[in-house]
Structure 1
Amino acid sequence: MIAAICARHSVRRYSPEPLSEGEWAALRRAVAAVEPLDGSLEVHLALLSFDEVGGRLAVGALLTFNPAPAYLVLHAPEQEGRMEEAGFRGEQVILAATALGLGTCWVGGTFSAGAVAKRLGRPAADVLAISPVGHPDPGRLGRLSNAATEAVARSGGKRKPLASFCFGQHWGIALQPGLVPPEVYRALEMARLAPSWSNLQPWYFLVEGDAVWAIGDSRPQRFNDRPGKPYYRLDVGIAMSHFWLAMREAGHGSRWYSVRGHEGEVQERLGLPQAMVPIGHYRL
């Protein structure tokens, strides 16, 4: 999966070429094989065609977005932990699509949740995010479209250096490469490559002894805190997925454990600033 993590980039314009039966089958297998962050949570991934999802307006296929033949829809009833769970699970399918040579793009705010929800028979509040899935448009318009939207994303900030969000032992103390095994440092580099709302990268990692803590910046930025849908948590879930997949590829069998319900006490014990919310920990 490291190769897919490094290759993944957001695609906004798609070729009219349909997905092959083999590609549909591979994507369905990827959805079925998704590993949960917390198996007790009810989070659903639906793989739908363009027509099934509700058409152009429903999926936000406007301006630089060109319709894709398939859409991954993430939906869940209102419950604590659903946002990071959706990010963790959904990114596994995104990376599987990348490995197939397909383009994707997380979309949280520029689609009609109501229209998509109607097709699913769910309340609009349940629809958290979607991603188009298809062959990138190889033409000039496709290249220009992707370049323009990537420039907009970059305006939110370039990729942060690892030392700015990975700390060792104590909050604010930059993690030094030699203080952790090479595969752990590599996994943190893979987390750095995770997509996020307007490239905000609202995550931090704190390595404390044999534990890695995933932490989210809860401060509202660029409209990423919608009612009932704190997208910073979805972004942290995506980054956690990258870390876990990289560690698994390196031969580690551990997993993330949610700290849901204990955020306050963990925040105090780790000495985190008020806006920094612990999401989970990974045992090395």
Structure 2
Amino acid sequence: MGFQQSVIIETMKKRQSVRTYDTRNISETHLQKIEKYMTDEKPFIGPFGLQGNIQLVHVTNNVTDKGIKLGTYGFIKNPRAYIVGVSENNKYALVDFGYTFHRLVLFLTDLELGTCWMGGTFNRNSFEKEISISDGHFIPCVTPIGYRKEKQRMFDKALRYVVKADNKKVWEKLFYDASFEEPLTKEHAGDLETPIEMVRIGPSASNKQPWRLVLTEDRNTCHFYIEHTPNYSSKLGYDMQLLDMGIAMCQFELACTELDIDGEWQVEEPAIQIPNENIEYIVSWRRK
């Protein structure tokens, strides 16, 4: 995995979006660890077996080594580098991409480096000039990286308030017991309480938290659904919320691994009645 598996749950809890960075360059030790992680293909193969393409781009005053100015519309200050990801534009490729990109975000968090998922607040054309992109691929998201500046801008605090970054939905709005008719409580989640809680606290576009989980009565299977926000990100030409589902799967699986709960991903839609047309089945996690 590249990071300390024994502390991944704590890493998930402390991860926050960082938009203002210290002007210190990333240390050589950290750069070497990042490059080592990124040259290993295993972290970039998702649950559906699709391999992502993720690259590191160094910047000085938002200008790359090639002299290309990267645009983030004033959202990011003093980044030391960017991680840029490339994917195909289809459902499972985007879910896989969200999963592998988030695993890298957690690795960077473990190194005490700040990150910020960016799907719509950056100039894609400027980033596309910096990296090579195959036909049929595009850049779903990027993240700046660097050391967090202790004193955050008022802009950062205001943005967290606007997107309600610190206001996560309660369990009863996200998780269900055997069917969508019965909300799931922490008390009835058994040993999956922590993995499910890690899904709840995970990052998502505009903090919409589109994941909906249904835990079977025998507590052996957890079905993952997405509740699409109508027309969200439609102007970008791809469903950004599919990345959120990859994030949810990553948080859930890594927490299970730390807790020695053995399971696997399977696509086999259950006969569960969905409450509205915006909900779509994605995948199921089953105990081995």
TM range (shorter): 0.7 to 0.9
Q: Equivalents in 1 of 2:66, 2:159: separation in Å?
A: 24
Aligned to 1:207: 215
Aligned to 1:242: 251
Aligned to 2:128: 117
Matched, 1:134 2:143: no
From the superposition, tell whether residues 47 and 39 of structure 1 become closer, same or farther in structure 2 (CA, over 3 Å).
farther
Aligned to 1:5: 12
Gaps of 5+ in 1: none
From the superposition, tell whether residues 212 and 17 of structure 1 become closer, same or farther in structure 2 (CA, over 3 Å).
same
Displacement of 1:138: 2.2
Q: TM-score, normalised by structure 1?
A: 0.86
From the superposition, tell whether residues 124 and 106 of structure 1 become closer, same or farther in structure 2 (CA, over 3 Å).
farther
Aligned to 2:52: 43
Matched, 1:26 2:33: yes
From the superposition, tell whether residues 240 and 146 of structure 1 become closer, same or farther in structure 2 (CA, over 3 Å).
same
Instruction: For residues 191-233 of structure 1, give each alpha carbon's deviation from its aligned partner in whole angstroms, at most 9, with x where no partner exists.
Output: 1111111111111111124210111112326x43345410111
* Aligned partners of 2:113 and 2:146 also within 8 Å: yes
Q: TM-score, normalised by structure 2?
A: 0.85
CA RMSD of superposed structures (Å): 2.4
Instruction: For residues 232-255 of structure 1, give each alpha carbon's deviation from its aligned partner in whole angstroms, at most 9, with x where no partner exists.
Output: 111111111111110110012323
Matched, 1:219 2:219: no
Gaps of 5+ in 2: 1-7
* Aligned partners of 1:206 and 1:213 also within 8 Å: yes
Instruction: For residues 33-62 of structure 1, give each alpha carbon's deviation from its aligned partner in whole angstroms, at most 9, with x where no partner exists.
Output: 5163335324211122124487785341x3
Greater helix percent: which structure? 1
* Aligned partners of 2:230 and 2:278 also within 8 Å: no
- What is the one-letter code of the residue matched to 1:69? R
From the superposition, tell whether residues 162 and 117 of structure 1 become closer, same or farther in structure 2 (CA, over 3 Å).
same
* Aligned partners of 1:11 and 1:104 also within 8 Å: yes
Which of 134, 151, 162 is the matching residue for 1:152?
A: 162
Q: Equivalents in 1 of 2:64, 2:96: separation in Å?
A: 24
Matched, 1:14 2:24: no
Aligned to 1:283: 286
Displacement of 1:153: 1.6
Identity %: 23
* Aligned partners of 1:215 and 1:277 also within 8 Å: yes
